[in-house]
Amino acid sequence: MLTAKQHELIRFIQQRLEETGISPSFEEMKEALDLKSKSGVHRLISALEERGFIRRLPNRARALEVLRQPEDSTPAVRGAKADNVVDLQSAAAARAERMAPQPANDVIEIPLHGRIAAGAPIEALEGQNSLPVPAALLGPGEHYALEVSGDSMIEAGIFDGDFALVRRTDVARDGEIVVALVRNEEATLKYLRHENGMVRLDPANGAYDPQVYRPDEVQVQGKLSGLLRRYH
């Protein structure tokens, strides 16, 4: 038996996957379920993962997959036998296959522009280095890479030393993870929010506070599209 909040969360994740193909952020899940903190979201996700309803996809930010739903989670299955659980794994795999780029063995060299903070903002260094990236990891558009420094985005699955793959753009929606240039001199990787006429850059780590700036102090320079991680 799942709790009401667990039912609500798995429905919200599935709805977002069907609409956008991307699982919601912890902040979005917290707001959707009207929870006071993201620690409550962590507990719900862990419980659903232990029961085999969802799984986290490794080495990817915001990557959750719904494997199955409880039999009373939607009208289509309400009243079914207790062991008649809707297995969504095949449907999820088919959807991912439709949305994913065609497999490719090609490797693309994209610019590697130094380090970016996942903590307090640090200078984003321009450089001549490049990073080889499998073409299948990149979608349309122009991309570049930044090495992540700090731990303020660990709840989004982004760790110190990861390479953030960024699609170059100057626009983003609330709730997306962006590269934000602050006061034309420092760059940081954060969730983007707009609040009371100000721009709020939210971390994904309860140990850090949001950073709030005037709109003219923040310039979006790209959106996170993927991660690379080295294992030593």
Q: Indicate which residue of 23, 25, 149, 152 is catalytic.
A: 152
Q: Is 223 a catalytic site residue?
A: no
Q: What is 12-24 written as a DSSP string? A: HHHHHHHHHSSPP
- Rounded distance between C-alpha atoms, residue 203 and residue 73, angstroms: 32
- Rounded distance between C-alpha atoms, residue 193 and residue 176, angstroms: 8
Q: Indicate which residue of 30, 73, 149, 190 is catalytic.
A: 190
Q: Is 152 a catalytic site residue?
A: yes
End-to-end CA distance of the chain: 41
CA distances from 195 to 174, 175, 207, 209 (A): 10, 12, 21, 15
* H or E, element range at 148: strand 143-149
- Rounded distance between C-alpha atoms, residue 11 and residue 18, angstroms: 11
**3-state SS of 32-44?**
HCCCCCHHHHHHH
Active site residues: 152, 190
